[in-house]
Amino acid sequence: MGLGARKYWVRGHQKYLELSWIDKPSIFATQIIKYFPERGTLLDLGAGQGQDSRYFAEKGYKVLCTDFSDFALKIAKEKAEKQKLNINFLNVDISKKFPIKTGEFDIVYSHLGLHYWNEEVTHKIFEEIYRVSKPGGIVAALFNSQSDPEIKEFKKIEENLYYDPKGLLKSYFTSDYLKKFIKNKFDIVLLDDLGETYKDEIKTLVRFVGKKT
């Protein structure tokens, strides 16, 4: 993501600071933690202001909170320090090779952070997720859904990929589309379109939990 996307997310996170849900663990995080091992290392990709990172740290996981926005990471770090939580922070551009050792994490997690790229880049992202996961590691992620009504307002670039007039590309997933990226990498533990958020009333987001093969 370039400078335009960084500016977009600074504006976005400034608005989020005013919203009540920004410090709550996401609905997705509270739903899928039951699939995690009782303890271990957790990589949070595209963590934003880190509410889920803090939730997992409170539950005893050793968390690396990542985002490509220094602005978001600064807020996330301040909030973690206020709660006296031991969380590590790292600026990571998900579309590039992660600056992380192979096989380092028991859990790789992302809440609406993996759907901003075309199919080619998304394949590379899942290859990186596979690489940094431990054998038998868990991956859990929530995705935009093709049933989201907002795509009617966006310009379709290619299959599943749309241009948001606010300045971002977004992929909108189905369960079958997601299977392209997890094939021969992760066994499916959970895959459905029942995901939801506090941010809006959509309850058709794609939920995925998998186990590294």
Spatial separation of the C-alpha atoms in residues 183 and 123, rounded to whole Å: 10
Q: What is the pLDDT of residue 22?
A: 81
CA angle at 62 for the pair 59 and 63, rounded to the nearest 5°: 95
Please provide the CATH number assigned to the domain covering 3-16+26-31+38-212. Answer: 3.40.50.150
User: What parts of the chain have a pLDDT lower than 70?
Assistant: 1-6, 8-13, 17-18
Q: What is the pLDDT of residue 17?
A: 67
Q: What is the pLDDT of residue 99?
A: 98
Q: What is the pLDDT of residue 13?
A: 65
Q: What is the pLDDT of residue 200?
A: 83
Whose tokens are 């990226």? That residue is 181
The residue ranges of every structural domain in the chain are: 3-16+26-31+38-212
User: Three-state SS string across the chain, please?
Assistant: CCHHHHHHHHHHHHHHCCCHHHHCCCHHHHHHHHHCCCCCEEEECCCCCCHHHHHHHHCCCEEEEEECCHHHHHHHHHHHHHCCCCCEEEECCCCCCCCCCCCCEEEEEEECCCCCCCHHHHHHHHHHHHHHEEEEEEEEEEECECCCHHHHHCEEEECCEEEECCCEEEECECHHHHHHHHCCCEEEEEEEEEECCCCCCCCCEEEEEEEEC
Q: What is the pLDDT of residue 85?
A: 98
Spatial separation of the C-alpha atoms in residues 98 and 105, rounded to whole Å: 12
Question: Percentage of the chain surpassing pLDDT 70?
Answer: 92
Spatial separation of the C-alpha atoms in residues 40 and 137, rounded to whole Å: 10
Q: What is the pLDDT of residue 9?
A: 62
Q: What is the pLDDT of residues 53-96, one digit of tens each?
A: 999 999 999 999 999 999 999 999 999 999 999 999 999 999 99
Q: Which residues contact 88 (CB under 8 A, 6 or more apart)?
A: 63, 64, 65
CB 45 within 8 A of CB 109: yes
Q: What is the pLDDT of residue 1?
A: 55
